[in-house]
Structure 1
Amino acid sequence: MGNEREKFSQRLAHAMQQAGYEPRPTVLFHLFNTHYRGRSVSVQTTSRWLGAQAIPAQDKLQVLADLLGVEPHTLRFGTAPRSRVAEPRMTWPAGVGSRERQTIDAYLQLPPKKRELVGELVKALSDSA
């Protein structure tokens, strides 16, 4: 079981890096809890996931996979299921770090009216540059 946890933690860290996040427990803690609708997890829990001490339950694994743009099965077991057809997920451009991703994620959680305001602000700032 220990080897299985170690492989999972490596896949999780790799998926975080590929998605533009630093594979650190505090980064994962903030990212996960802003998207999970259940009871929030602690930094200790995310540390255990990244430190090969635990594997999350299926509902949490699904949220992690969605956030990181990987298939849940691949994140958990390392191989993609053979019978599933899926569209390729877009990757973030080089240089987009966790701060920018968190900002974009927060923006996407806003209601439409607030998104419009943010869009106007960004346009005004880019026009004045």
Structure 2
Amino acid sequence: MCTRKKLVCVVLLAMGLLWACSGNKGSEQEKGKSLTLKGLYSYGPEVKSFTDCDEGREYWVADSAKNLELEYTNLGFEKPYTPVYIEVECHLVKSDTTTVTGGYDSTMVVTKVLKMSKEIPEGPCNQ
């Protein structure tokens, strides 16, 4: 009888551990998942930020596409940090809390620029 209880406890413990580990993997995969985001991008010497128009979340921007900053500069602004509307493919990673990126929800790693415009469309971005 005592052996049977121990066996049931071990099986339940093993199932609990497997469930906890598999749930953790799912959330990690979700963070690295490719997304298409639309919002306002600001660029300057010290800050590269993006604000998601739908959720209002603010992200630090890393430009792995290597053309986001170039396209922004080519728009010819006289002052830095002028917001522009962008649509990008990206994935989100946890921001490093020991650097300037730590004050942001996450870091948005841009993989492809789909659209960039000085014209901010009507809707949640234009409020």
Taking structure 2 as the reference length, the TM-score comes to 0.23
Greater per-residue strand proportion: 2
Structure that is richer in helix per residue: 1
Higher Cα Rg, which structure: 2
